[in-house]
Amino acid sequence: MLNKFLPSKYVKSIYDIKPEELKNKGIKGVITDLDNTLIEWDRPTATPKLIKWFDEMKRHDIKVIVVSNNNEQRVKAFSDPLGIPFIHKARKPLGSAFRRAVKSMGISREETVIIGDQLLTDVLGGNRAGFETILVVPVAKSDGFFTRFNRMVERRIMANFKRRGLIDWEDEK
């Protein structure tokens, strides 16, 4: 059961995810979380560095869609200026938003990776739906109200993985 929380890969930030590596693995699309994955949960717009990362993905013909549990106003304000499609109120870890995202990109599940900062929503939802998942370290040290509870549970799960030798990452979440 706990293995559903184990990501395929763990990186410090989305900037460690290179389009060339994704292409070499047959990945044509990225489903990414928004808050604390791409930008801080309380930052309204993309940073210049993040815009450059999106441009690199586009240059390599990798489609990107934002799938967030947040409300439409929050996700739209971030995504629209960048011309990036999005799904709001995704109800992760349920898989329906992931399936809608893949369908809208016109690619298969096997050609898609899910990137997020939470085990209980992004990784669990992606793994349950059969996707490759990449866990990133949250970009902010603070979290919104509901995420704080998730982080406590995640720390216990990560400690369990470490004890069982399932992870050997230097930094834990």
Query: Could you tell me the residue ranges of all domains in the chain?
Result: 2-163
The dihedrals phi and psi of 61, each to the nearest 5 degrees, come to 60, 35
β-pairing verdict for 86-87 and 29-32? unpaired
Assess contact for 71 and 35: CB atoms under 8 A: no
The H or E element spanning position 66 is strand 63-67
- Please state, in angstroms and rounded to a whole number, the distance separating the CA atoms of residues 112 and 28: 6
What are 79-112's pLDDT values in tens digits? 999 999 999 999 999 999 999 999 999 999 999 9
Q: How many residues are given for the chain?
A: 173
So what's the pLDDT on residue 1?
Answer: 67
Residue with tokens 């629209």: 80
- 167 — pLDDT class (breaks 50, 70, 90): confident
Other Cβ atoms less than 10 A from the Cβ of 1: the count is: 4
- Please state, in angstroms and rounded to a whole number, the distance separating the CA atoms of residues 99 and 116: 16
Burial classification of residue 9, based on how many CB atoms lie within 10 Å of its CB (0-12 exposed, 13-18 middle, 19 or more buried) = middle
Pick the CATH number of 2-163 from 3.30.930.10, 3.40.50.1000, 3.20.20.140, 3.10.450.50: 3.40.50.1000
- 71 — pLDDT class (breaks 50, 70, 90): very high
- 155 — pLDDT class (breaks 50, 70, 90): confident
Mean residue pLDDT of the chain comes to 91
Asked if residue 169 has pLDDT above 70, the reply is no
So what's the pLDDT on residue 131?
Answer: 97
Name the residue among 127, 138, 119, 134 with its Cα closest to residue 38: 138
- Please state, in angstroms and rounded to a whole number, the distance separating the CA atoms of residues 163 and 161: 6
Asked if residue 172 has pLDDT above 50, the reply is no
- Please state, in angstroms and rounded to a whole number, the distance separating the CA atoms of residues 17 and 11: 8
- 145 — pLDDT class (breaks 50, 70, 90): low
Residue with tokens 């399936």: 99
